[in-house]
Chains A and B, each alone.
Chain A
């Protein structure tokens, strides 16, 4: 029987090198829960065995239930009739299996029916589900909604909403976007007001809501009438009851299994989550970061599927009397795809580990505070982890979603005319991939989000430590390349800063962010190459081509490729 966990050697490599002992110890509060829950781990090793077992179960469901239904789900799509949304049959069956297997409360505490798993393991699960059917990720991967209620809601709200999400009785939706508030969420207009009894109600329209037909909705709404910016927005939870009308579902390019809804709220009763006015600036930002990691994992899952399709096709297809796999141009493309896939995976799970550490340090600090103990050292580490995750999360989302499109593009190219036809999976994968660099913040916005961290050189200490470390043998040359890339980065950065031109900086940010990511990912791959010799090939191609690209990026900045922006009106006729 195929299994998307055990058949994926690279995923297993990352699983075997997790090194999340500190995070797991905190999340398990020193392995105390086993007395209350027989499925809680007794120690780190036991926790790892649990993760392995559950990822195996998801790998089984993904390969044998989800993947075989993906093409039908794509063809059937979701439908809207008499105001009611119906998922494709395959989506219903797959979701029901995931819910029956207790997998819908992945990161929620056991108290609320969850598994209490780290974010890193959740990202692995999302990768496998997305490899099987990217559109199902939008149901499976909406678990951050529960986590947001857990983090910012009251005890009553947790008890009300979380068990229903964890057991799969309810699905959720993040209800943010409006017709005139897409990338710019500050412009949200949906009105939240208090009725005669002082209870909150919602009125207005939301658009492009993934799974907007869900049962539990997290809605960003304007609670402070008369305001126009982010500080007038609060976060609300409500049920998708009769007062929430699904006006239409979108007819989309890809992810057909996931209904994208336009919603009309007609004085819908709602509960305020957390504090007023903190909706966008705190809660949604946190929610979005979780969702961005989810989309990164989704992108990686699609990339894995697209790569495999290409490899399989290239090995089967014969032209000119040989397998096209043996034609150097094709095998070179395949190697590029494989190197992108593996370096993407390294970046994703590294970022996920940082997110875990950040979440856990926060958890530990609040635990210490409750006991009246000092947490100075932890506070400093939390601050660092927060800065690093704020940098790595958008970088990861940007690179992995763009890369998924590129891998699908090349995979389709290897298929030739066949890939353009509906009969082969790559046609669907290429369509599904196209949303990943748009939703949860476009690539351009991810760059904006990462720019601050890059300009402030947030990873400077880490890079300096890496430069001191002596990589041996063939890795020495590659380590030198990385030092060279870092010099190129620092010079380019200085050039941009010295110029003191905001417009120039905005445009050059893409090159700067990519330069920074070359160094970070390069070191991840070097470290992996020390553990496993096959990884030397991956590190080598990645770093050698990164050096070439770094030079060209630096040229683009220093030669001011973008100076013609001032003449945009003359060029764009």
Chain B
């Protein structure tokens, strides 16, 4: 029996490889210097979905919500082996918190349809909320398994999954469809495949085609869309009007989370304390660390 998967992915700033140019001296961030990457655990989620496809057959479709630039990660999904990708992008979706995001993603998943499994990374390295996956499952009205590490069994319409919990793991069984969020140890993402990359490198989403037509008045967006689609190079794009959504529940308007204040922290070396390399010195150091709540 084959299983169709939908994978949720996000483009995030590369917070693991900050160059000196990213942080300004006043503690603010220079976004232009921050490279955007495929959220690492989302890439693992795609790998898990592709492994399900390799083993049982079925289709792997990917959805990303974000600015036009998020098309980059969708192309990378195609390079890895995704069958189809979808961009959810509209100014009206901008500024969304986890609730507004999961609301729109839930609608996008319904529109893409025909799925047995929804995979997502546990959390994105920018927000670190780990809420979008669970909230999406709630809104879809399907069960969820978070922190998944391994698909133990998949038969008929039941899946058995091992998930990581504090101090150990537990094994859960669920009917399909189910939403699963995975952690990094679930799989090692496969590399981009050279042949797929060359064949799909010109895949473009609607806002990217828009930019091409803006630069060339002889081009018409509908023709261009058709041309790309006929070559299998169009990344279907959903805007607010394409989805069955209430605009008031989208983007900033639909987000109860408000940023109260942003505090810029300048990290710099401050005062220091010396500890003697003796047994007593080490004891003092440990006491100090515990006292300052760095340990324990």
Contacts and interface: CB of A to CB of B under 8 A. Distances in A.
Interface string A24-51: 0000000000000111110000000110
B199 A39 contact: yes
B191 A60 contact: yes
Given A2-B17, A103-B194, A53 B35 contact: no
Contacts of B35: 1
B201 interface: yes
A363 to B, nearest CB: 21
Contact of A101 (B16, B37, B191): B191
Contact of A54 (B16, B37, B190, B198): B198
Given A1-B37, A50-B201, A53-B201, A39 B17 contact: no
B195 interface: yes
A302 interface: no
Given A1-B17, A1-B35, A2-B17, A38 B194 contact: no
Interface residues on B, range: 10 to 19
Contacts of B192: 57, 60, 101
A308 interface: no
B125 to A, nearest CB: 12
A115 interface: yes
B198 A50 contact: yes
B195 A102 contact: yes
Contacts of B191: 57, 60-61, 65, 97-98, 100-101
Given A38-B199, A39-B199, A101 B14 contact: no
B194 A102 contact: yes
Contact of B194 (A2, A40, A54, A65): A54
B34 to A, nearest CB: 12
Contacts of B176: none
Contacts of A37: 195
Nearest to B17: A1
Nearest to A99: B191
Most buried by A among B190, B192, B195: B195
A100 B201 contact: no
Contact of B190 (A2, A39, A100): A100
A49 B194 contact: no
B196 interface: yes
Interface string B68-106: 000000000001000000000000000000000000000
Nearest to A65: B191
Contacts, number: 51
A449 B198 CA distance: 39
A102 B191 CA distance: 9
Contacts of B197: 39, 53-54, 57
Interface string A77-114: 00000000000000000000110111100000000000
A39 B195 contact: yes
B193 interface: yes
A57 B194 contact: yes
A37 B37 CA distance: 29
Interface string B185-226: 000001111111111010000000000000000000000000
A1 B14 contact: yes
Contacts of B190: 97, 100-101
A547 B193 CA distance: 48
Contacts of A103: 194
Interface in A99-143: 100-103, 115
Contacts of B201: 49-50, 53
Nearest to B191: A101
Contacts of B195: 37, 39, 102, 115
A101 B193 contact: yes
A38 B201 CA distance: 11
Contacts of B17: 1-2
Given A1-B37, A50-B201, A39 B14 contact: no
B245 to A, nearest CB: 34
Most buried by A among B16, B79, B201: B201
Given A1-B37, A53-B201, A100 B193 contact: yes
Interface in B147-194: 190-194
B199 A101 contact: no
A49 B200 CA distance: 12
Contacts of A97: 190-191
A478 to B, nearest CB: 35
Nearest to B81: A100
B136 to A, nearest CB: 27
Given A1-B37, A38-B199, A39-B198, A102 B193 contact: yes
Contacts of A40: 198
Contacts of B198: 39-41, 50, 53-54
B124 to A, nearest CB: 16
Contacts of A100: 190-191, 193
B267 to A, nearest CB: 19
Interface in A516-552: none
Contacts of A57: 79, 191-192, 194, 197
Nearest to B196: A39
B23 to A, nearest CB: 18
A57 B75 CA distance: 13
A49 B198 CA distance: 8
A34 to B, nearest CB: 10
Nearest to B231: A38
Contacts of B194: 39, 54, 57, 101-103, 115
A553 B181 CA distance: 68
Contacts of A115: 194-195
Contacts of B196: 39
Nearest to A52: B201
A54 B197 CA distance: 8
B26 to A, nearest CB: 25
A44 to B, nearest CB: 15
A98 B196 CA distance: 14
B51 to A, nearest CB: 12
A50 B196 CA distance: 11
Most buried by A among B35, B195, B198, B199: B198
A40 B194 CA distance: 11
Q: What 5 pairs across the A-B complex have the smallest Cβ distances? A: A39-B198, A101-B191, A102-B194, A38-B199, A39-B199
Interface of B: 14, 16-17, 35, 37, 79, 190-199, 201
25 contacts: A1-B16, A1-B17, A1-B37, A37-B195, A38-B199, A39-B194, A39-B196, A49-B201, A50-B198, A50-B201, A53-B197, A53-B198, A53-B201, A54-B197, A54-B198, A57-B79, A57-B191, A57-B194, A57-B197, A97-B190, A100-B190, A100-B193, A101-B190, A101-B192, A101-B193
Given A53-B201, A101-B192, 12 more contacts: A40-B198, A50-B201, A57-B197, A60-B191, A60-B192, A97-B190, A98-B191, A100-B190, A100-B191, A101-B191, A101-B194, A103-B194
